[in-house]
């Protein structure tokens, strides 16, 4: 099966640029996330970490009446 795919990939002109483009997209995304992590405030990280554990207020707690 792999020989079948490899043979067809070899016949496509300019196919060698796609791995390079894929690597560049991955690398730039990785660097962007790394820079964002370095710049984010220290208070933001625990806040975002606790979000899945926070309970959403019910309608009766917010003052709305559920009918």
Q: What is the pLDDT of residue 67?
A: 43
Q: Judge whether 15 and 7 are in contact, CB under 8 Å.
A: no
65 has a pLDDT exceeding 90 = no
Q: What is the pLDDT of residue 12?
A: 82
Q: What is the pLDDT of residue 57?
A: 65
pLDDT in tens, 40-59: 998 888 888 888 777 776 66
Chain centroid, CA 17 distance in Å: 24
């Amino acid at each position: 099966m792999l020989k079948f795919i490899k043979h067809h990939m070899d016949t496509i002109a300019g196919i060698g640029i796609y791995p390079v483009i894929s690597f560049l997209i991955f690398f730039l995304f990785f660097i962007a996330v790394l820079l964002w992590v370095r710049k984010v405030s220290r208070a933001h990280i625990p806040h975002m970490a606790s979000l899945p554990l926070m309970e959403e207020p019910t309608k009766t707690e917010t003052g709305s009446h559920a009918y």
